[in-house]
Amino acid sequence: MTVLVDTSTRVVVQGITGHQGTVHTRQMKLFGTAVAAGVTPGKGGTEVDGVPVFDSVREAVDATRANASCIFVPAPFAKDALIESVDAGIRLAVVVTEHIPFHDMLVMYHYARSKGTRIIGPNCPGIAAPGKAKVGIIPNVVFHPGRVGVISRSGTLTYEIVNGIKEHGLGQSTCIGLGGDPVVGTSFVDALPLFQGDPETDLLVMVGEIGGTAEEEAAEYIHGHVTKPVVAYIAGRSAPPGKRMGHAGAIITRGRGTAESKVAALEKAGAQVARFPYEVPEMVAAIAARQARR
């Protein structure tokens, strides 16, 4: 068992004939993912790296039994692409696209939930279960199969910390990049119970950042429901109040969403909180060593 993706995951890449779609289709295949189909309207009947291209998601699903989507469609068309995949029966949609309008994402979020489809993203690196499947753009080389679950709002910090875990001789069960927009399809609170219930995950890493209250809400959930050890890191400690830092969701307003409030909430919930990214793999290794001695 892994979280959301496994060897049965069959991916349709929406926007496969664009540069990013083509490059990352190849990388997903190299990771071991079953990339079953691609979709670009008007390009049906062609191939990309051996993957058949269809004109619609419905055609792709009917022909290949694809059950997950990776969306590289440009922002103005991402809402329609997501709705098309949901209507075709896709139940996991990873939206890599950034700069999706706020109101478009609100429509996407509620429409997908009403139909039973889980969105990861937008503006995210995706999800990966080493040795099983990857849907998204996370670099293949940072992973190694193991028992550490990772949930993160930051793409580049995800890569750094996951690679650090590997360099400490450990590996990951599943890694989910949630995305950094104000509205995302899967939150920390959505992901935490999946890892808590996963027998292949022994401990969790949570990478957050300033802005919003997602980490405080996660801390409340951890306090009441998570029994596995949690190591956390909050980015943006030095950001001045009111200044947006990279991600659209990383903005502090009216004293809420500060690094201090998030750290305090997580520590109160029993998580170990690192001050610097390089400390996270060290903390994880120490916990894993204690678990191994039991």
For residue 274, list its beta bridge partners: 233
Q: Would residue 133 be called left, alpha or beta, if left means φ above 0 and alpha means ψ between -120 and 50 degrees?
A: beta
Q: How far apart are CA 14 and CA 74, in angstroms?
A: 10
Pair of tokens at residue 119:
């969105």
Catalytic hit among 24, 110, 225, 247: 247
- For CA atoms 123, 211, 246, 5, give the dihedral sign: negative
Q: How far apart are CA 4 and CA 210, in angstroms?
A: 27
Q: Where does the chain show beta strands of DSSP type E?
A: 10-14, 34-39, 47-48, 51-54, 68-71, 92-95, 118-120, 126-129, 133-136, 145-152, 172-177, 203-209, 230-235, 272-274
Q: How far apart are CA 257 and CA 249, in angstroms?
A: 10
Local structure of residue 66 (DSSP, 8 states): -
How many helical (H) and strand (E) elements, i.e. helices and strands, does the chain have?
A: 9, 14
Q: How far apart are CA 51 and CA 271, in angstroms?
A: 43
Q: For this structure, is 247 an active site residue?
A: yes
Scan for tokens 């292949």, then name that residue. 200
Indicate which residues carry an active-site annotation.
Answer: 247
